[in-house]
Amino acid sequence: IKFLSRAANGSLMAQSVTPLQRLKFNNVALKKLPLNSSLEPGSRTVTGACFSRVQPQPQPPLKPTFVAVSEAALALLGLNADDVLCDPHGAEYLSGSRMIPGSEPAAHCYCGHQFGHLVEAGAEQSSNPISTSPCGRWEIQVKGAGLTPYSRQSDGRKVLRSSIREFLCSEAMLALGIPTTPAGSLVTSDLYVQRDAFYSGNPRPERCSVVLRIAPTFIRFGSFEIFHPVDDFTGRHGPSVGRTDIRAQILDYVIETFYPEIQRRHLDRQERNASFFREVTVRTAKLVALWQSVGFCHGVLNTDNMSILGLTIDYGPFGFMDRFDPEFVSNASDKKGRYSYEAQPYVCRWNLARLAEALGTELQSAKAGTILDEFMTIYQDCYLDIMRRKLGLLRQQQPEDVELVADLLKTMHITGADFTNTFRLLSAVSCPAGEQKDRDSTDSVVELIVGQCASLEELKVANHLTMQPGELKMILSTAETNPGMFNMVANQPEVAKQLEKIGRLKELLVINEVELKIKQRYHWQRWVKQYRRRLAHECDEVSDPAAVEKERVRSMNSTNPAVVLRNYIAQNAIEAAERGDFSEVQQLLKVLENPYSVSVDLERPVWSAGSGSVQADGNSIKGQEVKENTKRKAAADTHQIPYNSKPPAWARTICVT
C-alpha cells in the first residue's frame, strides 16, 4: 500500500510505506514447528500441531481506537509512538483487525494445570518480526483479537477493564526491572460483548479491546503439556498425546533458539536437556524472588501461565500487596488461597515438576528431581540478596541478615504496614552517629512508618478466621479433653495460623485506636533499633562513612519503588476509560515508567474512583458494595489521592477475579 503526499512543487509523489508496513517478518516458529493450516472457523481440537493459522476478524461496526501506546515497548521493534499513531491503519494493524504486510497470524496450542488440574487451553494470534532480542527477533501477539481453534466456549475477545490492567502492569514490571512481556499498545473499539465477571447472572456489555504483547517467544510450560497422557484424576489428556516426535521438535527449537549456549555446550542430548531444565529452574526461582520483593501476586500461576524463558506473562487477576500479609490473595476466585503471596515460590516449584513430567523421556527423572531439590535454595539466596539491597546492606553479608529480614516482615505483618511505602521510608533511617539529631531523625521516620500502618478496624478484618467454625471449635475443644492430640494438631501450619489469628483478635478486641498506635510505635522502634545496629557494620573500617551512607540511600531509593500499580489506581484509570476518557491511562503509564522517582507526575493527585461502576478489572466491585461506590462518587468531589498514597479504606472493596 502506498500513500501519496504533495511535493513542494505541488505535484503528487509516492510516499514510502509506513514504519509498521516496513516491519520484517520471518515467521520462523511457524516454519520450524508443526502448523495446522486449516482455517475452519470455531473452536475445535487440533492434533499434531503447535500452531494453527488464523485470520483477522474485523466485525462491523468495529472502529479500533488507540487508548495508549508504550514508547519503551515499541522501541524493541524499532518503532516509536508516532510511527503507530500516525499510521492510518495503525489501530487496525495492532488490534489484529488487519494483517501487517508479511505477517502470518497463528494461534498457539497449549494445555496446562489450572488450580492443580489438567485442562486444554490456547493462545492468541502472533507473528515474528525481526529486531534486536536475545534470539534476534521478537514475537508480537494481539491478545483479545477474536476466535481461535482454542477458544473453547469463549468468543476470543478481551474487554477494556482487563486490557487496561494487563497493559499497565506489563509496563510497570518492565520499569521495575522484572522480566516481563512488554505491551506495545492498547486498542479499544465500539464492538461490545456481554461479560458476567462474577458469574452472578448479571452480565453487562463491555467494550472489546486488544493488547499488543511482545516477547522473544510465548512458549510456556503448558506448550509441552499438549503431549500429556490421560490424567488419572480428570481423565483428560493433551491433544497430541503420544507424539514424542513433536515434543522433541519443540524442545530442540526452544533450546537451539533461546538457549544457544546450552546447545553449544552439550553434545549429549540428555545432558543438554538437563542443563536446559536447570536454567529454566534458575530463571523461575529468580523471577518469583523478584515478585516477592515488590509484593506482586500473580493470581493465576497455572502451568500455562509460566514462561519457558522465565518471564512474567498473562496478567489477569494480579495484585500488588498494600498492607503486608503473607496470605494475600489477589484473585477473588482463589477461595482456597492456592496462589497466595506466600505460596508463590512453592507453586512455581510444583509447576516446574509438571514441566519435568511433560518432557517425559527427554529428561531423566532422577536428574529432574536433583534439580528441583535446588529450587528453594536458589530462590532463598536470590530473595535474600534482593532484600539486602532493599535494606541498603551493600558492603557485607552477615548471617544475622536472615533474622533481620524475617523480623522486619513479622513487624510489618503485626502492625499491618503498607509494604511499598514502608520499604521506601527505610532509606531515611540514618546510620547511628550518637548524636541527638540522629535519634530525632529516627523517631520521625518511625512516626512516618506508623502512619502507614493499619487501623484497628482493618486489622480486625485482616485477622478473620478462614477455617470452618465447626472444625475450629472441635480442635479447640481437644485442648481440654486431649491435650496431647491438641498439641499435634496445633503444630499443623494451617491450624497454627488460625490459632495465631485468634490470639491477635483477642488482643485487638480489648484495645482502642490510641493504644494500637502505641503498640505499633513500640514494634517499629524495636526493629529500627535492630536495623541501625546492622547499618553500623556497613561503616566498619571505612574512611568516609558519609560516602557509604550516601550510596546506601541512593541504592535503596533505586531498589524500593515509590509507586506500584495498586488496584485502586488501576480502577481510577478503568472507570475514566469506560467513560471515554483515556487521559488517566496515559498519565498513569508515565508515572509507572519511572517508579523509583518522586516526580511532579507522581505527586499529582488523582481523583478517588467514584463513577459508581460495579466493575474492577478482570473483575469488579462486589454487588453489595455498590452503595459504597455511590458514597465514593460523592467523595470524589472533595477528596484526592496521590499515586504514592497508602490506599484509602474503600480500596479494600475492589475485588478482582
- DSSP for 497-558? HHHHHHHHHHHHTT--HHHHHHHHHHHHHHHHHHHHHHHHHHTTT-S-HHHHHHHHHHHHHT
Continuous segment of H or E residues that includes residue 35: strand 35-36
304 is catalytic: yes
Measure the CA dihedral 433/438/439/444, to 10°: -150
Q: What pLDDT does residue 4 have? A: 28
pLDDT class of 428 with cuts at 50, 70, 90: very high
Q: What pLDDT does residue 130 have? A: 55
| Range of lowest pLDDT (129-143, 342-356, 368-382, 406-420) | 129-143
CA distance 262 to 264: 5
Residue 109 φ then ψ, to 5°:
-90, 125
CA distance 463 to 455: 12
CA distance 457 to 460: 5
The reported pTM is 0.89
Residues 6+ apart with CB under 8 A from 356: 277, 363, 365, 368, 371, 372
pLDDT class of 240 with cuts at 50, 70, 90: very high
Judge whether residue 462 has pLDDT over 60.
yes
Candidates 212, 191, 236, 207; CA nearest to 69 is: 212
Report the relative pairing of strands 35-36 and 51-53 from DSSP bridges.
parallel
CA distance 301 to 520: 34
Q: What pLDDT does residue 639 have? A: 54
SS3 per residue for 53-98: ECCCCCCCCCCCEEEEECHHHHHCCCCCHHHHHCCCCHHHHCCCCC
Number of Cβ atoms within 10 Å of the Cβ of 644: 19
CA distance 395 to 397: 7
Q: What pLDDT does residue 407 have? A: 98
Amino acid at 550: K
Chain mean pLDDT for the chain: 86
Report the relative pairing of strands 106-114 and 158-159 from DSSP bridges.
unpaired
pLDDT class of 606 with cuts at 50, 70, 90: low
Q: Please give the average per-residue pLDDT across 330-336, as a whole number.
A: 89
pLDDT class of 534 with cuts at 50, 70, 90: very high
Q: Residue 444, exposed/middle/buried by CB under 10 A (0-12, 13-18, 19+)?
A: exposed
| Cβ–Cβ < 8 Å for 372, 498 | no
Report the relative pairing of strands 183-195 and 204-215 from DSSP bridges.
antiparallel
Candidates 372, 328, 327; CA nearest to 351 is: 372
Q: Please give the average per-residue pLDDT across 573-598, as a whole number.
A: 94
Dihedral of alpha carbons 364, 353, 251, 261, sign = negative
Share of the chain above pLDDT 90, in %: 65
430-446 residue pLDDT tens: 988 544 446 667 889 99
Q: What pLDDT does residue 129 have? A: 61
| Cβ–Cβ < 8 Å for 585, 186 | yes
Q: What pLDDT does residue 8 have? A: 35
Which is higher by pLDDT, 640 or 493? Answer: 493
> Cα 156 to chain center, whole Å?
22
CA distances in angstroms from 522 to 129, 430, 433, listed in the order given: 58, 18, 22
Q: Please give the average per-residue pLDDT across 208-213, as a whole number.
A: 95
Q: What pLDDT does residue 9 have? A: 39
pLDDT class of 540 with cuts at 50, 70, 90: confident
For residue 41 the three cell numbers come to 472457523
Given 304, 314, 334, 617, which residue is catalytic?
304
Which is higher by pLDDT, 235 or 5? Answer: 235
| Structural domain boundaries in the chain | 19-246, 393-558
Q: What pLDDT does residue 519 have? A: 97
Q: What pLDDT does residue 481 have? A: 83
- 3-class DSSP state for residue 217? coil
Report the relative pairing of strands 117-127 and 139-143 from DSSP bridges.
antiparallel
For residue 609 the three cell numbers come to 474512583
The DSSP bridge partners found for residue 194 are 205
| Cβ–Cβ < 8 Å for 476, 506 | no
Dihedral of alpha carbons 433, 437, 443, 445, sign = negative
| Range of lowest pLDDT (22-31, 70-79, 326-335, 499-508) | 499-508
Q: What pLDDT does residue 433 have? A: 57
CA distance 636 to 330: 25
Q: What pLDDT does residue 61 have? A: 62
607-633 residue pLDDT tens: 554 443 334 443 333 333 334 344 434
Number of Cβ atoms within 10 Å of the Cβ of 279: 18
